[in-house]
């Protein structure tokens, strides 16, 4: 703590330097109260106060403050959740690539093989077999573009929309149940707030 003489000198207007350490108590509430006492260092010089607060790594961890931003934990969490969602879907005889093609065709509406390939990050030639299988099963339709006969248009059929809706509903039901069983109301609300941010990240490449 600063001495009384130093404090008196500062009060009289004499330029001086004073330094010391005080303790602040931080209380965080998350199901239980947690009290921490980070150290706060201060210094007064020429009557201009400067305050610097430093938290220990342990305190930062308890407060949920990341010392260095890292994408590793986020990536691993997203991958693990995606894996669970894939596990909780019925076997409809389609490959993951074919299901992704259906999903992107649904989001794009009437589209082309080139647009689908760009969305999936593959070459157009790589989609040929998958599109043939989806058309054979009656899940998509293909036709020539009336304005450019060399251009092929792809669109979901009613059967394709029904299959895709059932698949999405099944995974949505699992996710809703998992959230209800494992998350608090606060965690669930925070997760829903983050959903648009994750979508923004997912569309980062296409937005450029």
Neighbours of 140 (CB within 10 A): 24
CB 66 within 8 A of CB 55: no
Tell me which residue of 10, 200, 163 sits closest to 89, measured CA to CA. Answer: 163
DSSP 203: T
Q: Tell me the Cα Rg of the chain.
A: 29
Locate 208 and state its tokens: 């450029």
> Model confidence over 64-81: pLDDT tens digits?
555 555 788 888 999 999
pLDDT at site 133:
95
Q: How far is CA 103 from the centre of its chain?
A: 20
Tokens 């305190």 -> residue: 59
Inter-axis angle of helices 96-108 and 113-120, nearest 10:
120
Q: What are phi and psi of 18, to 5 degrees?
A: -130, 135
Contacting residues for 101 by C-beta, under 8 A, at least 6 apart: 116, 120, 127, 130, 131, 134
Q: Which domains does the chain have, with CATH numbers?
A: 4-63 (no CATH), 72-207 (1.10.10.10)
pLDDT at site 190:
93
pLDDT at site 145:
87
Q: What are phi and psi of 32, to 5 degrees?
A: -150, 155
Does residue 171 carry a pLDDT above 90? yes
Confidence class of residue 204 from pLDDT cuts 50, 70 and 90?
A: confident
> Model confidence over 9-60: pLDDT tens digits?
444 444 444 444 444 443 343 443 443 444 444 333 444 444 344 455 565 5
């Amino acid at each position: 703590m600063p001495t009384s003489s130093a404090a008196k000198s500062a009060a009289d207007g004499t330029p001086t330097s004073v330094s010391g350490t005080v303790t602040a108590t931080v209380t965080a509430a998350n199901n239980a109260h947690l009290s921490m006492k980070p150290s706060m260092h201060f210094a007064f010089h020429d009557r201009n106060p400067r305050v610097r607060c430093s938290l220990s790594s342990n305190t930062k961890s308890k407060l949920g403050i990341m010392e260095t931003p890292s994408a590793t934990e986020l990536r691993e969490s997203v991958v693990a959740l995606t894996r669970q969602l894939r596990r909780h879907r019925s076997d409809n005889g389609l490959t993951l690539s074919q299901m992704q093609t259906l999903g992107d065709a649904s989001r794009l509406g009437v589209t082309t093989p080139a647009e689908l390939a760009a969305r999936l990050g593959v070459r157009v030639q790589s989609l040929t077999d998958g599109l043939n299988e989806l058309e054979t099963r009656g899940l998509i339709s293909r036709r020539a573009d009336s304005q450019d006969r060399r251009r092929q248009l792809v669109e979901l059929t009613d059967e394709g929309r029904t299959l895709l809706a059932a698949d999405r509903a099944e995974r949505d039901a699992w996710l809703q149940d998992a959230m209800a069983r494992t998350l608090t109301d606060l965690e669930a609300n925070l997760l829903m707030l983050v959903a648009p941010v994750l979508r923004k990240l997912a569309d980062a490449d296409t937005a450029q």
